């Protein structure tokens, strides 16, 4: 399928349409997601296959993508199609809300696809609360400005869009975002991407910088190299990646535009040039440099290349990560003995230790809401992903996989993607912020590591 | 130096002789005579010369030993440390000796780690290993200008696999001339 996707990538218009128009293509991806735990805590939901109001087959199975997205969120358990009591395309076609309520679903998604001219389609969908529909019979009356008017308050969401043939998958993710936000009150992260490093030592250029949709589809190679690539990190606008490349026999930090392929070298100091992290406003890059001896944390103004040293300690300081307000950094330091996470205020340069539990804590990332810290936690010689809450300090180990590292948090804070080892190979894995939902993204061949979840795109 | 070349020549010559002996296998008909006896290049008649072992001066012995040691260019480390183990003292002394005698020689010292711990931490640990090795050589008189260090962390494993055997081979510093 790697082949097919490359084909899709390189082929123009017509071919692209033909392939993406394959009905319900159960296309395997290079990173196929295998859910390993957590379906039992998911909320039941009905995702009804969208009805096609045209000749022949529907050009795309939107419902399948939406159902897969919601299942992978760990929050929802879409019921299987053969359990559905009917196949309505819109609320007006729903005869018996009670039959849906009996399914135990809190919501049902129905939709219609109508062909327009020029390869465009009108996609309409509604998210329905069957329990409310059962009570009101599908039409309630409500007082609005003192007038009694008809109200369809059992319809939680309803939208119509015109979608071109090349945008089906993207639009399906958009629907998932709408459904997710309507039911959880939290923004969906289905229209996001992950960057990661793929390594296959059997190739002449073993090291690859990759970008794919969050679900592993639309994988693209951004850079191939005979020498190691490390630490991809997204610009806050989602257009660029910073990463470390050893292409010149030493580590250097590069910035690459993911759409134009333009790249520039940001740093090439003596010693370590590593662990780049973009500031939330996109103007600065935190990094690790060892040009003056020990690895310390620095912040560079990207436009002027002006460098400010943040930490100055003779032992290892590394893995800077910005707090969402951009006013401080967390970082890993050995200043207290074993590696622990510390926090430095950028204006006062005041440093305080954040983690205390276990033998060591590394790779700290503050969650998007600023209320927690995701770390690589070492206890009894094992490395697991853990979450520590602020300000309680409670630490909860989230994973049971082995040699976990490089956690990266989805922009809505719902999920963590990280690198782990499975059957002697490095693979990516997902775990929800509460640790209940776990999935693995095994790669066909080679090793996959250093995942970085994009911002909202 | 001459002698060490001789030693090297012998190291090459002995396997060649062994190979030559192997080539008189039964399917090698070209060298088989009518009466079935086998002749090879070594089967010459005539005088044979022999040589006694030269008595090496201590310095020559040391040089010979160092030349052998320099065939090894990797030293290994314990988990999560950058301390140079005592068992590599002689090996590093041999490299230091060469570098001191050849001030124009340059060496890149690569630091590597096993896969445990985060990649970023391991870059720092790898650098510490490379620098510990460089410091060791510097204390033996090697000039700083002859050495550069680079850390690859856990990115270039020598052995694959998630077990102590692989890990112990990957925790290393490599001298690259």
Contacts of A43 (CB under 8 A, 6+ apart): A75, A76, A77, A106, A183
Selected residue of A229, A274, A423 to mutate for chain B interface (largest B Cβ count, 10 A): A274
Sign of CA dihedral A78, A84, A87, A91: negative
Structural domain includes residue B37: no
Domain CATH number, residue B94? 3.30.1330.60
Q: Which of residues 279 through 298 in chain A touch B, CB cutoff 8 A? A: 288, 290, 295
User: Do B147 and B138 meet the contact criterion of CB atoms below 8 Å apart?
Assistant: yes
A15-29, A176-190, A435-449, B34-48: least confident range: A15-29
A27 phi/psi in degrees, rounded to 5:
-65, 125
| CB atoms B152 and A246 under 8 Å | yes
Output the pLDDT for position A390.
84
Q: How is residue A339 written in tokens?
A: 């590696």
| CB atoms A271 and B119 under 8 Å | no
Instruction: Tell me how many residue pairs between chain A and chain B have CB atoms under 8 A apart.
Output: 82
Task: Find chain B residues with C-beta within 8 A of A250's C-beta.
Answer: 150
Output the pLDDT for position A393.
86
Task: Please report, in angstroms and rounded to a whole number, the separation of the first and last CA atoms in chain A.
Answer: 25
| CB atoms B116 and A424 under 8 Å | no
Q: E strands of A152-249, at which residues?
A: 155-164, 193-199, 207-213, 220-225, 229-234, 240-245
Output the pLDDT for position B11.
46
| CB atoms A405 and B119 under 8 Å | yes
Residue A215, pLDDT above cutoff 90: no
Of B108, B120, B162, the CB nearest to A275: B120
Residue B37, pLDDT above cutoff 70: no
Residue bearing the bigger pLDDT, A29 or A345: A345
Count CB-CB contacts under 10 A for residue B75. Answer: 23
Q: Which residue of B has its CA nearest to A228?
A: B155
Residue bearing the bigger pLDDT, A112 or A437: A112
Q: What is the mean pLDDT of chain B?
A: 80
Residue bearing the bigger pLDDT, A427 or B53: A427
Residue A41, pLDDT above cutoff 90: no
Residue bearing the bigger pLDDT, A18 or A288: A288
Output the pLDDT for position A40.
65
User: Do A452 and A238 meet the contact criterion of CB atoms below 8 Å apart?
Assistant: no
Structural domain includes residue B159: yes
- Integer Cα distance of A89 and A44 in angstroms: 20
Q: How is residue A457 written in tokens?
A: 């795109």
Banded pLDDT at B177 (limits 50, 70, 90): very high
What is the tens place of the pLDDT at every residue in A331-342?
999 999 999 999
B62 phi/psi in degrees, rounded to 5:
-65, -45
Structural domain includes residue B92: yes
Residue A298, pLDDT above cutoff 60: yes
Output the pLDDT for position A207.
96
Of B115, B117, B152, the CB nearest to A362: B117
Output the pLDDT for position B34.
43
Distance from the Cα of A354 to chain B's closest Cα (Å) equals: 17
Unique residue bearing structure tokens 């002698």 = B3
Q: What is the DSSP string of A268-305?
A: --SS-EEEEEE-TTSSEEEEEE-TTSS-EEEEEETTT-
Burial of A276 from C-beta contacts in 10 A (0-12 / 13-18 / 19+) = buried
Structural domain includes residue B42: no
Unique residue bearing structure tokens 């206890």 = A379
B24 phi/psi in degrees, rounded to 5:
-90, 35
Selected residue of A272, A277, A420, A424 to mutate for chain B interface (largest B Cβ count, 10 A): A272
Output the pLDDT for position A391.
80
Residue among A204, A256, A199, A265 nearest A232 (CA): A256
Output the pLDDT for position A15.
33
B64 phi/psi in degrees, rounded to 5:
-65, -45
Residue B3, pLDDT above cutoff 50: no
Contacts of A281 (CB under 8 A, 6+ apart): A236, A326
Distance from the Cα of A202 to chain B's closest Cα (Å) equals: 13
Long-range contacts of A83-89 (CB under 8 A, 24+ apart): A84/A46, A84/A48, A87/A48, A87/A49, A87/A51, A88/A48, A88/A51, A89/A48, A89/A50, A89/A51, A89/A53
Most confident among A155-169, A298-312, B42-56 (mean pLDDT): A298-312
Residue A290, pLDDT above cutoff 80: yes
- The domain total for chain B is 1
Residue A445, pLDDT above cutoff 60: yes
Q: Where are the alpha helices (DSSP H) in A73-139?
A: 97-102, 130-136
User: Do A267 and A287 meet the contact criterion of CB atoms below 8 Å apart?
Assistant: yes
- Integer Cα distance of A14 and A39 in angstroms: 39
User: Do A404 and A3 meet the contact criterion of CB atoms below 8 Å apart?
Assistant: no
Average pLDDT over residues A360-366: 96
Banded pLDDT at A13 (limits 50, 70, 90): very low
A75-89, A144-158, A361-375: least confident range: A144-158
Output the pLDDT for position A349.
95
Residue B71, pLDDT above cutoff 70: yes
Unique residue bearing structure tokens 């911002």 = A455
Average pLDDT over residues A214-236: 94
Residue A9, pLDDT above cutoff 50: no
What is the tens place of the pLDDT at every residue in A16-25?
333 333 333 3
Average pLDDT over residues A435-441: 86
**DSSP code, position B41:** G
Structural domain includes residue B80: yes
- Integer Cα distance of A417 and A426 in angstroms: 13
Output the pLDDT for position B168.
94
Average pLDDT over residues A245-252: 97
Average pLDDT over residues B139-166: 94
Average pLDDT over residues A75-86: 92
Residue B1, pLDDT above cutoff 50: no
What is the tens place of the pLDDT at every residue in A93-146?
888 899 999 999 999 999 999 999 888 999 999 999 998 888 887 776 666 677
Strand partners, A253: A244, A267
Sheet holding A360-366, edge to edge: A360-366, A372-379, A382-389, A395-397
Output the pLDDT for position A186.
92
Q: Which domain holds residue B132?
A: 58-176
Average pLDDT over residues A81-97: 91
Residue among A292, A274, A275, A276 nearest A284 (CA): A276
Residue bearing the bigger pLDDT, A132 or A452: A452
**How high is the ipTM of this complex?**
0.84
Three-state SS at A205 = coil
Is A275 within 8 Å of chain B by CB?
A: yes
Task: List residues of B whose CB lies inside 8 A of any A CB.
Answer: 108, 115-121, 123-125, 127-128, 149-153, 155-156, 160-162
- Integer Cα distance of A318 and A364 in angstroms: 10
Of A246, A363, A403, the CB nearest to B115: A403
Structural domain includes residue B161: yes
Q: At what angle do helices B89-101 and B58-69 cross, to 10 degrees?
A: 110
């Amino acid at each position: 399928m790697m082949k097919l996707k490359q084909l899709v990538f390189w082929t123009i218009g017509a071919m692209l349409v033909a392939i993406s128009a394959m009905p319900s293509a159960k296309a395997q991806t290079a990173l196929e997601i295998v859910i390993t735990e957590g379906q039992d805590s998911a909320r039941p939901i009905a995702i009804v296959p969208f009805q096609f109001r045209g000749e022949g087959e529907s050009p795309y199975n939107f419902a399948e993508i939406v159902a897969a997205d919601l299942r992978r969120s760990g929050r929802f358990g879409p019921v299987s199609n053969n359990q559905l009591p009917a196949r309505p395309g819109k609320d007006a076609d729903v005869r018996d809300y009670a039959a849906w309520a009996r399914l135990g679903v809190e919501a049902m998604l129905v939709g219609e696809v109508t062909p327009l001219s020029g390869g465009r389609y009108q996609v309409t969908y509604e998210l329905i609360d069957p329990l409310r529909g059962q009570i009101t019979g599908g039409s309630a009356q409500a007082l609005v400005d003192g007038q009694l008017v008809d109200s369809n308050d059992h319809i939680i969401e309803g939208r119509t869009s015109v979608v071109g043939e090349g945008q089906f998958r993207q639009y399906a993710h958009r629907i998932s975002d709408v459904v997710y936000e309507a039911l959880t009150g939290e923004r969906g992260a289905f229209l996001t991407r992950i960057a990661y490093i793929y390594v296959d030592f059997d190739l002449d250029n073993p090291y690859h910088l990759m970008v794919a949709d969050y679900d592993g589809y639309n994988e693209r190679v951004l850079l191939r190299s005979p020498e190691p690539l490390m630490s991809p990190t997204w610009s806050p606008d989602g257009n660029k990646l910073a990463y470390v490349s050893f292409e010149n026999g030493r580590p250097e930090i590069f910035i690459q535009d993911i759409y134009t392929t333009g790249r520039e070298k940001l740093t090439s100091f003596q010693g370590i040039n590593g662990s780049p992290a973009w500031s939330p406003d996109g103007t600065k890059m935190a990094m690790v440099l060892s040009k003056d001896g020990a690895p310390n944390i620095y912040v560079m103004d990207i436009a002027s290349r002006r460098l400010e040293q943040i930490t100055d300690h003779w032992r290892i300081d590394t893995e800077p990560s910005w707090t969402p307000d951009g006013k401080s950094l967390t970082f890993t330091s050995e200043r207290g003995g074993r590696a622990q996470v510390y926090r430095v205020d950028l204006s006062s340069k005041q440093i305080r230790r954040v983690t205390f539990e276990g033998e060591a804590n590394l790779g700290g990332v503050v969650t998007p809401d600023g209320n927690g810290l995701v770390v690589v936690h070492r206890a009894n010689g094992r490395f697991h992903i853990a979450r520590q809450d602020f300000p309680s300090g409670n630490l909860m180990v989230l994973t049971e996989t082995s040699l976990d590292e490089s956690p990266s948090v989805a922009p809505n804070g719902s999920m963590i993607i990280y690198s782990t080892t499975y059957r002697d190979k490095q693979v990516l894995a997902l775990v929800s912020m509460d640790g209940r939902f776990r999935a693995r993204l095994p790669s066909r061949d080679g090793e996959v590591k250093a995942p970085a979840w994009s911002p909202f795109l | 130096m001459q002698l060490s070349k001789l030693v090297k020549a012998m190291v090459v010559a002995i396997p060649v002789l062994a190979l030559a002996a192997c080539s008189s296998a039964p399917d090698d008909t070209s060298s088989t005579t009518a009466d079935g006896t086998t002749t090879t290049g070594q089967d010459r008649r005539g005088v044979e010369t022999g040589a006694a072992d030269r008595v090496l001066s201590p310095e020559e012995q040391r040089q010979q030993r160092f030349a052998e040691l320099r065939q090894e260019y990797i030293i290994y480390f314990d988990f999560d440390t950058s301390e140079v183990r005592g068992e590599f003292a002689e090996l590093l002394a041999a490299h230091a000796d060469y570098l001191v005698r050849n001030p124009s020689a340059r060496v890149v010292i690569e630091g590597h780690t096993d896969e445990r711990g985060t990649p970023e931490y391991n870059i720092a640990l790898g650098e510490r290993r490379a620098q510990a090795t460089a410091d060791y050589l510097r204390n033996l008189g090697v000039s700083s200008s002859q050495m550069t260090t680079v850390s690859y962390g856990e990115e270039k494993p020598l052995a694959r696999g998630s077990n102590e055997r692989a890990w112990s081979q990957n925790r290393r510093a490599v001298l690259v001339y």
